Copies of this chain bind each other. A is one copy, B any other.
Amino acid sequence: MAAKKKTSWSIGELAREFDVTTRTIRFYEDEGLLEPARRGQTRIYSAADRTALKLILRGKRLGFSLAESRQLIQMYNPDANRAQIEALLAKIHERRAQLTQQLRDIEVMQLELDEAEQRCLESLK
Contact = CB atoms under 8 A, between A and B. Distances in A.
Interface of A: 55, 58-64, 72, 75-76, 78, 80, 82, 85-86, 88-89, 92, 95-96, 99, 101-103, 105-106, 108-110, 112-113, 116-117, 119-124
B92 A62 contact: no
| 5 pairs of A and B residues whose beta carbons are closest in the complex | A63-B63, A75-B116, A58-B105, A78-B123, A78-B119
B63 A101 contact: no
Contacts of A108: 58
Contacts of A86: 124
A105 B75 contact: no
Contact of A63 (B61, B80, B92, B99): B61
B58 A113 contact: no
Given A58-B105, A62-B106, A116 B76 contact: yes
A92 to B, nearest CB: 5
A61 B113 contact: no
Contact of A92 (B85, B99, B106, B116): B116
B102 A61 contact: yes
A28 B95 CA distance: 27
Given A82-B124, A124-B82, A99 B89 contact: no
